[in-house]
Amino acid sequence: MKKEISNGQVFETSREKDLLSHLISTSQKYKLWIAFLLLIILFGMFAYYRQVKYGLIVTAMRDFTSWGIYISNFVFLVAISLVGSLFSSILKLNNNVWAKPLIRVSEFIAVAAIICASVIIIIDMGRPDRFFYVITHFRIQSPIIWDVIIISTYLVISVLLLYISILPDIALCRDRLTEIPNWKKKFYRIMAINWVNHPKQVAILKKVSKILAVAVLPVAFAIHTVTSWLFATTWRPGWDSTNLGPYFVSGAFMAGAAVIVIAMYFIRNQLKLKSYITESHFNNMGKLLVLLSLVYLYFNINEYLGPAFKMVGVEGEHITELFAGKYSFLYWFVQLGGLVLPIILLLFRKMRNPVPLLIISFFVILGAWVKRFLIVIPSLQHPYLPIQDVEESYLHYIPTWEEWAITLASFASLLLIVTILIKLFPVLPVQEDEKLVINTDINPLIIKNES
């Protein structure tokens, strides 16, 4: 067996070296990146300190626009978190072999996004100290309670999905990595829960992994459907729609796929994994993005065609404002730049190469974020009851620097969590499935790593 050595660490195979060496050494670039993210988070924390001290008055939210970019961002982050289920469940159950190397990255992102989404909800509260009233004054009739329940459930399931997929690799890190600090050794030892690639352990893990792959799907659909119900059950133009559930879920999958493209591009380049995440992965992701965007386009047409055809009352005003009013630039940017153009461009093979696909995905993501802004804010500015004798500030919503700082900090936190997870665990399965093959239930056989 040919052994590989990197930074004093002996690896059994070149695959191990490629996938584990970044866990041992920390580059200057990585430290700078972490420092940059921490700086943004600290700035966001300062803005939040001001918000707690002076109250929500430091934001631009008032009586009519009572949900601002915090809630838009919350919906965006929940959407991103759905990507975990797309890869760990939908593509896995459909035996999409090409998607396997992307499963773990998707789970990292899912966990990070759902953590940030939960935090942003508390940030949106004027009295965060009363958060536990949600539990002590529990009302099952409230869609907000449904959201709290489903978010916490999805958080646990996402963590479990991730943990189950990395468990054999954590044990590998525990056994192989000698050149790491003691706390890391201890961390791997605890996290590996005595995993020794025992046939019985492998059998249980496979079973559990299948159960989770099926169980996560309804929960993932539920989390974004319930989030859409927060809007659909509130009587405002633009939200009074039966289409909102599938509209949100399809949009989430599209945004999630774009996030994966961006993540895999940077992971591939920074961790030098070009032979593992290949151009064909980008090609396939491009095709998947087209498919998901087409589904989303279909729901978009459904969402706007009916009200735009009828133009009834405030609903019509809302549509006019989106199509030709003060939000028209953002609206057409989202629909054309973030949806139609990406679909057309990605139909061409050359556009599915890493760099063009990365740029297109950025536009999709930007469009997805702005889309959430357009779902939340213009609707709130058109209540069914007339607005009379109110302060000037109630009529507009332009987020304050505190809101932007906190929102940027939430993105930085998401990136920080993903970066730390990448630094702690291998991003691709080190022990490929073939090495964990079970022949029979009674006498399972593990084919040892011989490569």
Partner 1 sequence: MKVNRYLYPALKIFLLMGLIFGNIPLAFGQDAKEDAKIAVSFSEENDIKTITAIAVDKTGEPIEELELYFYVKRTFSLLPVGDPFNSTDENGMLEVVFPNDLPGDDAKGNVTIVVKIKESDLYNDLSLESTKNWGIPISLDPLKEKRSLWASSANAPISLITGVSIMIFGIWYIIFYIFFKLYKISKIRT
Residues that bind partner 1 (CB under 8 A): 137-141, 146, 149, 153, 156-157, 160, 163-164, 167, 193-196, 198, 200-201, 204-205, 207-208, 211-212, 215, 218-219, 222
Distances in Å between the Cα of 141 and the Cα atoms of 137, 144, 147, 223, 229 are 12, 9, 11, 17, 12
Q: How far is the CB of 137 from partner 1 (least distance, A)?
A: 7
Residue (125 or 215) nearer to partner 1, CB? 215
344 by Cβ neighbours in 10 Å (0-12 / 13-18 / 19+) ranks as: exposed
Fill in the DSSP letter of residue 9. Answer: E
Q: Name the 3-class secondary structure at 10.
A: strand
Cβ atoms of residues 372 and 6 within 8 Å: no
Q: Residue 46, by phi and psi: left (phi above 0), alpha (psi -120 to 50) or beta?
A: alpha
Q: How far is the CB of 187 from partner 1 (least distance, A)?
A: 16
- Residues constituting the chain: 451
Q: How far is the CB of 205 from partner 1 (least distance, A)?
A: 7
Q: How far is the CB of 84 from partner 1 (least distance, A)?
A: 15
Cα(192)–Cα(175) distance, integer angstroms = 10
Give, in degrees to the nearest 5, the angle at Cα 321 between 306 and 259.
80
What is the residue whose two structure tokens read 């239930």? 441
Cβ atoms of residues 31 and 39 within 8 Å: no
What are the structure tokens assigned to 181, written together?
């600090």
Q: How far is the CB of 200 from partner 1 (least distance, A)?
A: 5
What is the residue whose two structure tokens read 């993501």? 365
Residue (226 or 258) nearer to partner 1, CB? 226
What is the residue whose two structure tokens read 């729901």? 299
Residue (64 or 163) nearer to partner 1, CB? 163
Q: How far is the CB of 95 from partner 1 (least distance, A)?
A: 22
Q: How far is the CB of 139 from partner 1 (least distance, A)?
A: 4
| Biggest distance spanned by C-alpha atoms of the chain | 81
Q: How far is the CB of 117 from partner 1 (least distance, A)?
A: 18
Fill in the DSSP letter of residue 387. Answer: P
The helix-helix angle for 100-123 and 279-310 (nearest 10°) equals 40
Cβ atoms of residues 331 and 367 within 8 Å: no
Residue (208 or 390) nearer to partner 1, CB? 208
Those residues with Cβ within 8 angstroms of residue 2's Cβ, 6 or more apart along the chain or in another chain: 13, 14
Q: How far is the CB of 215 from partner 1 (least distance, A)?
A: 5
Give, in degrees to the nearest 5, the angle at Cα 93 between 90 and 99.
70
Q: How far is the CB of 46 from partner 1 (least distance, A)?
A: 35
Those residues with Cβ within 8 angstroms of residue 43's Cβ, 6 or more apart along the chain or in another chain: 405, 408, 409
Q: Name the 3-class secondary structure at 6.
A: strand
Cβ atoms of residues 114 and 147 within 8 Å: no
Closest to 89 measured CA to CA, from 160, 19, 172, 39: 160
Q: How far is the CB of 297 from partner 1 (least distance, A)?
A: 31
